[in-house]
Amino acid sequence: MQIMRDSLKVRHYARSTVKTYLQWCSRYFAYCGQSDITANSDSAFKAFLSHLALKRRVSSSTQNQAFNAILYLFRNVWSREPDNIDAVRARKPLRLPVVLTKEEVRQVLMRTNGVAGIVIRLIYSSGLRLSEALRLRVQDINLENKSITVRSGKGNKDRITILSSSIISDLQKQIGKSRELFENSVIPVSLPTALERKYPNANLEWKWQYLFPAKNASVDTATGEIRRHHLHRTGIQENMRKAVKDSGITKHAGVHTLRHCFATHLLMSGVDLCEIQELLGHKNLETTRVYLHVMKGFRQTVLSPLDLL
């Protein structure tokens, strides 16, 4: 497990990915121990994936997550390629994301409030993931050019996305609150470990402060030092849940739904699919193309044969 952890960190995998992969490997070793089978054998790999699918009845995405973690263990810790493993890779079904209409989004946003409300509006404004919005630093916001620089997004990629004019006033107030907290505190902000080593005083500079800082400092799990972190996601998610419920919307909508709404509503406005791909930070265009199918539900250009009778 330690070799696995070190290998993932050397390859600069995200902290959440390291945690997930290690959890799956721990479950894999526990399964092999209970079944009295050799962990680094092909049969053990296949048996574990079959156990997840048939006994645990996990979803295809969960099964493939476990598949990727164990495959990494074989390749990078045991330096061997398991045979015929594609047979246990789950086929992921095409699921269309839930998307709200523009009026439904308006009703939800009207019922959000406070800093959580600003985060929620920002996500819809710019197509951000919740983690990307919370990790924004002051220097990432360009109010003059109405743009946001997303640092180390999914896949450890940077990108630039758009910013709505209507949210600029709220962001200016939020920057002011962050500045006030910064000036009245001597607690350094959390930074990636490598960056903190390269620029030892950067964590006390204004430009590196979080746009949405947590009120209280906490221990950085990577270094053990006291640092100021960004807001936790649970408060934002709870605010969104309440707003959806109060709006009377029956769709299963969460914070990430607003990212889907951002893409679909841009597509309906005539924005090019490739441009939306760049704004969302998708690696493959096929990932973005799903919104073409979603858009058909909003624009019924083909009449049902029943309507022609």
Give the count of domains, the chain: 2
- Give the active site residue among 129, 146, 229, 233: 129
C-alpha–C-alpha distance, residues 299 and 281, integer Å: 26
- Give the active site residue among 146, 151, 159, 256: 256
Which two three-digit tokens encode residue 68?
Answer: 């990727």
Burial class of residue 188, CB neighbours in 10 A (0-12, 13-18, 19+): buried
Mark whether 154 is an active-site residue: yes
In a domain, 100, yes or no: no
In a domain, 98, yes or no: no
Residue 193 and residue 227 share a domain: yes
Residue where a domain stops, chosen among 223, 246, 269: 246
Mark whether 282 is an active-site residue: yes
Instruction: Report CA dihedral (290, 248, 121, 176) to the nearest 10 degrees.
Output: -160
Residue 192 and residue 115 share a domain: yes
Block mean pLDDT (10 aa), the chain, length 309: 91 87 95 91 90 88 92 93 75 82 96 96 96 96 95 86 95 96 91 79 92 90 84 96 96 95 93 94 89 77 70
Residue 57 and residue 171 share a domain: no
CATH number at residue 240: 1.10.443.10
Residue where a domain stops, chosen among 246, 273, 289: 246
Which two three-digit tokens encode residue 27?
Answer: 């479950």
Residue bearing tokens 């450890």 = 156
- Return the pLDDT at 302: 64
Which two three-digit tokens encode residue 164?
Answer: 């709505």
- Give the active site residue among 111, 151, 154, 159: 154
Query: Cα–chain-centroid distance for residue 156?
Result: 11
- Give the active site residue among 121, 259, 260, 265: 259
Query: Cα–chain-centroid distance for residue 13?
Result: 14
In a domain, 281, yes or no: no
In a domain, 168, yes or no: yes
Q: Which domain holds residue 16?
A: 2-88
In a domain, 296, yes or no: no
Residue 131 and residue 77 share a domain: no
CATH number at residue 71: 1.10.150.130
Mark whether 51 is an active-site residue: no
Mark whether 260 is an active-site residue: no
In a domain, 285, yes or no: no
Mark whether 259 is an active-site residue: yes
